[in-house]
């Protein structure tokens, strides 16, 4: 009699079979290209409750099992003040996907909710700090976040259109406030549409942003701008299907010689520096 597979086994099998080209291969490509994992790493895989972080956790577990580089994942969840139903959904999905969670609590939602200016920015900074701190206490040297290919593209375009700067999102970076800690983004090359397809295929439902602000203000500015950029990119893809791939490629092929100015290590530089050297 053929043994029936669990929901977790089916979810993993769909990654290695049906979505191998769309999810597994880009995931492995990012890990190798950007050297995200080294032997002996203890990595806090941060699970926020959304589709991206849960997929990242499943992929990291599969990589630990099948990969050549030995490392240890810890599945870390921070409760910043979730409503009981959101926390319950996270715990249910973790049980479904057989992920042993390490959970800790903070009051970040209270602090961000009372902020007069830039509550989303404050929330993001506080989350990052708490995750670094807790991961360090658990003996981890890295934290893994669920930012994906689409986040990279959208962040780049938002920075240019609304921030007046060419700024990207790195696949890994060293923490300046927590020495010895590194942030990695294993989904860096995985497109959001494929994450959505994987979740739908497996009948998985995850929480969205569960903060009070986005619940209270559906048109919150940051969410609105990102949605606007998503729509713009979809419109551009109708006449240029490769627009996302081209933006991504451009981040790896920056011709500084053609820029009138740029920042390096926080210091502003001008093309005139090079120009005068060649006079």
Say which CATH topology domain 7-218 has.
Rossmann fold (3.40.50)
pLDDT at 220: 46
When mean pLDDT is compared across 46-50, 222-226, 233-237, the lowest value belongs to 222-226
**What residue ranges do the domains of the chain occupy?**
7-218
pLDDT band at 270 (very low <50, low <70, confident <90, very high): very high
The model carries a pTM of 0.91
CA-closest candidate to residue 23, choices 64, 58, 49: 58
Q: How far is residue 30 from each of residues 24, 137, 184, 188, measured CA to CA in Å?
A: 10, 27, 10, 6
Task: Look at the block and give the residue holding tokens 């139903």.
Answer: 85
Convert the pLDDT of each residue in 244-269 to its tens digit.
999 999 999 999 999 999 999 889 99
pLDDT tops 60 at residue 169:
yes
Q: Please write the tens of the pLDDT for every residue from 125-162.
A: 788 889 999 999 999 999 999 999 999 999 999 999 99
CA–CA dist 179, 255 (Å, integer): 32
Q: How high is the pLDDT of residue 110?
A: 72
**pLDDT per residue over 39-74, tens digit each?**
999 999 999 999 999 999 999 999 999 999 999 999
Residue 117 pLDDT grade (very low, low, confident, very high; cuts 50, 70, 90): low
């Amino acid at each position: 009699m053929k043994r029936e597979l669990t929901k977790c086994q089916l979810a993993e099998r769909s990654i290695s079979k049906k979505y191998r080209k769309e999810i597994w291969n880009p995931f492995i490509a990012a890990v190798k290209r950007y050297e995200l994992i080294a032997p002996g790493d203890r990595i806090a895989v941060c699970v926020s409750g959304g589709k991206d972080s849960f997929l990242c956790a499943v992929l990291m577990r599969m990589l630990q099992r099948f990969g050549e580089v030995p490392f240890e994942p810890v599945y870390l969840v921070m409760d910043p003040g979730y409503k009981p139903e959101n926390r319950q959904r996270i715990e249910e999905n973790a049980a479904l996907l057989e992920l042993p969670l390490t959970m800790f609590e903070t009051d970040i939602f209270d602090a961000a909710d009372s902020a007069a200016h830039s509550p989303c920015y404050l929330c993001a900074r506080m989350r990052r700090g708490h995750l670094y701190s807790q991961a360090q206490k658990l003996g981890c040297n890295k934290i893994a976040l669920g930012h994906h290919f689409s986040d990279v593209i959208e962040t780049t375009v938002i920075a240019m259109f609304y921030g007046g700067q060419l700024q990207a999102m790195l696949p890994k970076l060293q923490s300046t406030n927590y020495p010895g800690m590194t942030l990695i983004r294993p989904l860096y090359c995985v497109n959001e549409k494929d994450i959505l397809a994987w979740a739908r295929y497996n009948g998985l439902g995850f929480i969205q942003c569960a903060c009070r602000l986005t619940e209270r203000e559906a048109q919150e500015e940051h969410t609105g701008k990102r949605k606007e950029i998503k729509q713009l990119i979809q419109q551009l893809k109708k006449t240029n299907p490769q627009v996302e791939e081209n933006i991504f490629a451009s981040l790896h092929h920056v011709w500084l010689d053609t820029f009138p100015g740029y920042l390096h290590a926080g210091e502003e530089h001008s093309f005139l520096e090079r120009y005068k050297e060649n006079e």
